[in-house]
Chains A and B, each alone.
Chain A
Amino acid sequence: MNNLLDSFSNFAFRNKNFIFLSFLIIPLLWLGVVYLGSLLIFLGHSFFHLDGFTGQIVYEFSFKTLLELFSSPANIDILIRTVVLAACVTIGSAIIGFPIAYYMAKFTSPKVKIFLFIAIMLPLWSSYLVRVYSWKLILAKEGIINWFFEKLHLEWLLDSILSTPVIGGPSLSISYIGMFLVFTYIWLPFMILPIQASLERVPNSLINASHDLGANKRQTFYKVILPLALPGVIAGSIFTFSLTLGDYIIPYIIGTSKFFIGQAVYTHQGTAGNIPLAAAFSLVPILVMIVYIYCAKRMGAFDAL
């Protein structure tokens, strides 16, 4: 018996792949079968279509559903609206997140850094719904922001901002501006943390070297720090961009009556029972992300990795 165990342990030691495989088999099955498998089956539904009369799904390969998605102006509006908002949220998060990440990576003592980490993560520990609803109150006509503008006698400023076509609305809590603010708040940690990690890996000697070679602070930032932090910015933007593309709660609570991709998917697979169209809508964020990552790679965003 001992002998058998012994030779088994010898075999396992010599065959590293066997060990890896025996540890990885469960996660691999989970990822491969349960996760990717169900995702592919769901997305595959976009090649089926709904029978207009019976309301039943017709399990035949066709492009009818995809054509329906891309030929209806209402659907195109939903797609454009979502992608533009996701892009704005991503840019906003990057502009707000980068200085915070830079400060954390290069200018803090270890103690302050831990404090900042907790401060950034803390909101993630409370319920997402609670946070969105508190923002609803903050942004409402009776909310603190309105009150603040009133006290400063600047209601006219807020009103003129809200009367801007497209992005405005009756109040901040029912407008694209409000959605932008809430999305940016909710996803900001996902932007700060990867940027912070990538800036942490930029050795100070590179910054010194750049100064030493005659580059001032601005040049050093654009030629050395930003290119080396770019993989972190891209990683963060993948989070904020894709999370915004797929979210349906914030548009539902803060938004106007106009739909976003998440809401479209929710409605089509639920009440309408149109799984193929819901699947077709879900395909769009994935395609957008693939194109986005491909472009980022072509532009050399990952060269510094």
Chain B
Amino acid sequence: MLKALNLENINKSYGAIKALRNINLTISDGEFFSLLGPSGSGKTTCLKVIAGFEAPDEGGVVIFDQEVTNIPPFKRQVNTVFQDYALFPHMNVRQNVGYSLKVQKLKGPSIEKSIDEILEVVNLTGYDLRKPSELSGGQRQRVALARALVNKPKILLLDEPLGALDLKLREKMQIELKNIQRQFKITFIYVTHDQQEALSMSDRIAVFNDGMIEQVDTPANIYSKPINSFVADFIGTTSIFDKASAMKLFNLDKAFSVRPENALIFDTEKDLVSIDKNEYFLANGTVLDCQFQGSHLKITFSIEANCKLSVYKSLEGNINQKYDVNSKHIIAWKKSDITSLNE
């Protein structure tokens, strides 16, 4: 498989703050790859290093087998969609989109044709003469995308491109981005702090924390086999039993996590007959909170002093189900459904 990008042991500090620590990453050609992490975890710095806006203190950047660590951004075959879109306010849509072609001193009808084509791809035909200030947030986002794509980059970098859009628009753009990536067959490197977005769009995800990469894997594996408690906690909703609780309650020598959809709620001991007790872990819990979430209830139980457990209960059949706060229940989950964690 052709390698689109190789980061070799990248380190980057801003004064005393270590923004990136020993980042090693290999991304294949045509992949939709997400850099996921909380704010300040180094994912945007990593993107800047790839684009060339920041030079790493140590380490190398290789794009399609070409060492580019000391090559300025305007000589890299990489384009960026910026978080704030960074559209040139004094240029109209057409001039913005055509900027990269114009600075290459390309001339003739092929430029105009490329611009028309890309504007059609992002559904902005007819907006050519508008200034960025005359566009909505979603339209600006499309201009930024068209501007980055018109030059047919080998890698497209996207820095939280949908962060400023409302939920509906964001979901629509997620699908469009994915379609565009399939259509253009180029590598997308996508920075986001939204784990839902990363899970739904990516081929692979790198989870960033505190300047380091915690785990690199497919969305399914990141979700079902988180490598440590940070990843387990950051991706989706999960309940973590630390080492002490695991030992005390279940006689396990390792911390573990349980996804809320994997746990079942029983009102009394008698109801447990429907399951094979040997295959399940059981715990007594007191309801702390019960939230209605449309398709299901999210119930948070207190198991013991420092141990909480969230459970999703499907509302199928009875939409008016409720769990009273402080009522006591038995929670059960399959032994095979837990994820052991290295803390």
Which residues of chain B come closer than 8 Å to A303, judged between CB atoms?
Answer: 90
CA distance A304 to B89 in the complex (A): 6
B74 touches A205 (CB 8 A): no
Pull 30 A–B residue pairs with CB atoms less than 8 Å apart, ordered by A: A203-B84, A206-B86, A206-B88, A208-B86, A209-B80, A209-B86, A211-B53, A211-B72, A211-B74, A212-B52, A212-B73, A212-B74, A212-B78, A212-B79, A212-B80, A212-B148, A213-B74, A213-B103, A214-B74, A215-B100, A216-B72, A216-B74, A219-B103, A223-B103, A224-B88, A227-B90, A228-B89, A228-B90, A303-B90, A304-B89
Interface residues of B in 69-113 (CB under 8 A from A): 72-74, 78-80, 82-84, 86-90, 99-100, 103-104
How many chain A residues touch B (CB < 8 A): the figure is: 20
The answer, yes or no, to whether A210 is at the interface (CB within 8 Å) is yes
| Nearest chain A residue, comparing its CB with the CB of B84 | A205
A208 touches B79 (CB 8 A): no
Which residues of chain A come closer than 8 Å to B51, judged between CB atoms?
Answer: 208, 212
Q: What interface size band does chain B fall in?
A: 20 to 34
- If A209-B86, A228-B89 touch, whether A215 touches B53 (CB-CB below 8 Å) is no
Other 13 A-B pairs with CB < 8 A, given A211-B53, A215-B74: A205-B82, A209-B80, A209-B82, A210-B103, A211-B73, A212-B53, A212-B78, A213-B79, A213-B151, A215-B99, A216-B72, A300-B90, A304-B89
Q: A185: shortest Cβ distance to chain B, in Å?
A: 32
- Which 9 A-B pairs have CB atoms at the shortest separation, nearest pair first? A213-B100, A209-B86, A205-B86, A215-B103, A211-B73, A304-B90, A212-B80, A211-B74, A214-B100
Interface residues of A in 263-305 (CB under 8 A from B): 300, 303-304
CA distance A227 to B84 in the complex (A): 20
The answer, yes or no, to whether B204 is at the interface (CB within 8 Å) is no
The answer, yes or no, to whether B12 is at the interface (CB within 8 Å) is no
A203 touches B86 (CB 8 A): yes
CA distance A300 to B95 in the complex (A): 15
The answer, yes or no, to whether B147 is at the interface (CB within 8 Å) is yes
Which residue in A206, A211, A214, A223 is a CB contact (below 8 Å) of B104? A214
CA distance A212 to B86 in the complex (A): 11
Interface residues of A in 5-50 (CB under 8 A from B): none
Which residues of chain A come closer than 8 Å to B72, judged between CB atoms?
Answer: 211, 216
Q: B225: shortest Cβ distance to chain A, in Å?
A: 36
